Structure 1
Amino acid sequence: MNRYSKQARLLIAIDCIIFGFDGENLKLLLIHRAFEPEMGKWSVVGGFLQPDESPENAAARILKQLTGLEGVYMEQLEAFGNPSRDPIERVISLTYFALIDINKYTEQLSEEYRPEWFLLKERPELIFDHNEMVEAALKKLRYKAALHPVLFELLPEKFTLPQLQALYTAVYDAQFDKRNFSRKVLSAELLVKQTEKDKEGSKKGAFYYMLDKTQYKDKLQTFVNFVPTPDNFLL
C-alpha cells in the first residue's frame, strides 16, 4: 500500500511571525502577499511545506526566500487549522515566531516582497487569521520572556540599561520604574558591565552591558521577579 485509503489530502502552510526591536519599539515585519487570494494585501511571512522538508527547514527557507533573513532565532508556536481559514483549499498552518535586532539585519532585508516594519498597535489589517497568529505569538513571547532569556535575541550583543528597559516596556506594554528596574536587574548579577558608554542619548552617557548566559539559569528568578506572572499570558 502506497497511501492511506479514504483520507483527504491537506496543504500545510508555514507562517512566520517576525518580531524586531529597533532600540525603542517592538515591531512586526509584514510583506505583501504575492498570489491570490488576497494578493497584494498585508501578510505575515509564509509559504507551503514541501514533501521533502521538515517544518523547521521550511520555515528557514521561507524566511530567507521572502525576506532575505537567515540565522535568526526562531521557535515553533502552534497550529491553526480552522477548516474555513483559507477560501481556496483546506490549509493547516504551522506557525513560528522569530526574534531579531532590527538594526543588525537592515542591510540583509530583501525588498522583493516589499517588507515593512510596523508598530504592533499600528499594524494594518492582515489576511485570513494572521492577526490571531500575531496575538498568539505575542502572548507566547511574553510567557517565554518571563522564564528564559529570549528577549536578548532582540538586542545587540552590547546594550544599555535604558535599552533593556525600553524592550521590556514594549513587550509587556507596561511601565517599569527606572530606578527599581535598574536595581533589580543589576542585583541579579547577570549583566557584565563594559568600560565603554553609549553617548548618543546624553553627554553623560550610559554604560554598555552584556548578558552572562552562563549564570542565567541559576539566577533566573531574581532577574524576572519584576515581570508580570508568566501564567497570565497563557489565559
Structure 2
Amino acid sequence: MEENLPKFESAISIDCVIFGFDAGELKILLIERSADPFKDWYALPGNLVKQDEGIEEAAGRILHELTGLNDLHMEQFHTFGEVNRHPSGRVITVAYYALIRINSQKEVKPLIEFAKKAFWHPVSELPKLAFDHSDIFKTGFNKVRRRLHYQPIAYELLPEKFTLTQLQQLYEAILNKKLDKRNFRKKMLSYGFLKELDEKQKNVSFRAAKLYKFDRRKYAKIFQNDLNIEES
C-alpha cells in the first residue's frame, strides 16, 4: 500500500556562517559565486542538500566543497523558509554557524566550480550578500553576541596565546562598541581565568605586550553565570 503513496519533491539547502578573528577584526567566511542566480555576488558558503543525504552530512560536505575546510564543528541556529527567498523556486535553508581560529585556517579554497573563490571578509565592512544571506548573517551574528555573555567563545576565536589588547578588540568587534581599556582589563583579570605567561609578543614594531592564555577549567566555570562584559 505504501508503494502507491505520492512522492514529495523538496528543495532544502545549507548555509554556513563561519566566524573567525584575525588582525584585530572579526571576520566572516564568504564565497564568490560563479553560477546563476546571483553570479559574481558574494555569499555565505551554501548549496542544496542531495536527496540521498542527511542534513548534518550535507553541512559538512557543502562547507568542504566550497571552502576546503573539513571536520569543523558546526551548530544549527535557524531555519529560513520565506516563500520567495530563492528565485528558482521554494527552497528552505538550514543555517549552521561555527567559531574558529583563523590563524590555522587562513587558506580557504573552493574544490568545485560552483564558487570562484573563498575568502575571509571583515564583518564591519560586509556588503549586501546574495539571496537572503545578509539576514542569515545578521541572525547568526546576534546568536554569537548572545553567547558572548554565557559561553566562553573567546577561547574558540583567539590564538592559544594572546594579548589583553587582542581580547578587548574581540569583545569590541562582537559588541560593536568601545570598552574602557582600564575597566575592561581590571574586570578580565579579576575573574581569574587568564594565566599570565612569562612571554611577550615577538616580531612587532611597537612595544611588545605580555601574552596570556585561558585557564580552560576556570574559564568554563565563570561562564556558568551570566557574564556582563558591557558593564566594563
Range into which the TM-score falls when normalised by the shorter chain: 0.7 to 0.9
Structure 1 portions without partners, runs of 5+:
229-235
Matched-pair contact (CA < 8 Å) for 2:200–2:211: yes
Look up the match of 1:232: none
Whole-Å Cα distance in 2 between the matches of residues 140 and 183 of structure 1? Answer: 27
CA deviation after TM superposition for structure 1 residue 221, in Å: 6.6
Residue 33 of structure 1 and its aligned partner are, at CA, apart by 1.8
Equivalent pair of 2:193/2:214 in contact (CA under 8 Å): yes
Structure 1 counterpart SS, 2:210:
strand
Change (3 A) 1:49 1:111: closer
Give 4+ residue runs of structure 1 displaced > 6 Å after superposition. none
Deviations 1:142-198 (A, max 9, x none): 001111012321111111111000000111101111111111111111112211111
TM-score with structure 2 setting the length: 0.88
| 1:9 counterpart residue number | 9
Aligned partner of residue 141 in structure 1, secondary structure: helix
Q: Unmatched 5+ residue regions in structure 2?
A: none
Mapped pair 1:114 → 2:113: no
Partners in 1 of 2:169 and 2:178 — Cα distance?
9
The aligned residue for residue 176 of structure 2 is 173
Alpha-carbon offset, residue 225 of structure 1: 2.5
2:41 maps to what in 1? 41
Whole-Å Cα distance in 1 between the matches of residues 5 and 145 of structure 2? 41
After superposition, where does 1:35-184 map in structure 2 within 5 Å?
Answer: 35-107=35-107, 109-110=108-109, 113-184=116-187
What TM-score do the two structures reach when normalised by structure 1?
A: 0.87
3-state DSSP of counterpart to 2:24: coil
Query: In structure 2, the residue corresponding to 1:85 is in which secondary structure?
Result: coil
Tell me how far apart the structure 2 counterparts of residues 23 and 3 of structure 1 sit (CA, whole Å): 60
Q: 1-side partners of 2:220 and 2:156: how far apart? A: 16
State the aligned residue count: 225
Aligned CA distance change for structure 1 residues 50 and 227 (closer, same or farther; 3 Å):
farther
2:74 counterpart letter in structure 1: M
CA contact (8 A) 2:100 2:156 kept: yes
Q: Does 1:197 align with 2:200?
A: yes
Alpha-carbon distance, 1:124 to partner:
2.1
What do you get for the CA RMSD once the two structures are aligned?
2.1
> 1:184, 1:223 within 8 Å by CA — same for their partners in 2?
no
- Where 1:10 maps in the other structure, the secondary structure is coil
Letter in 2 for 1:157: E
The 3-state SS of whatever aligns with 2:74 is strand
Structure 1 equivalent of residue 190 of structure 2: 187
Counterpart code for 1:65: E
SS of structure 2 residue aligned to 1:58: helix
Structure 1 residue 201: deviation in Å? 5.9
SS of the residue aligned with 2:166? Answer: helix
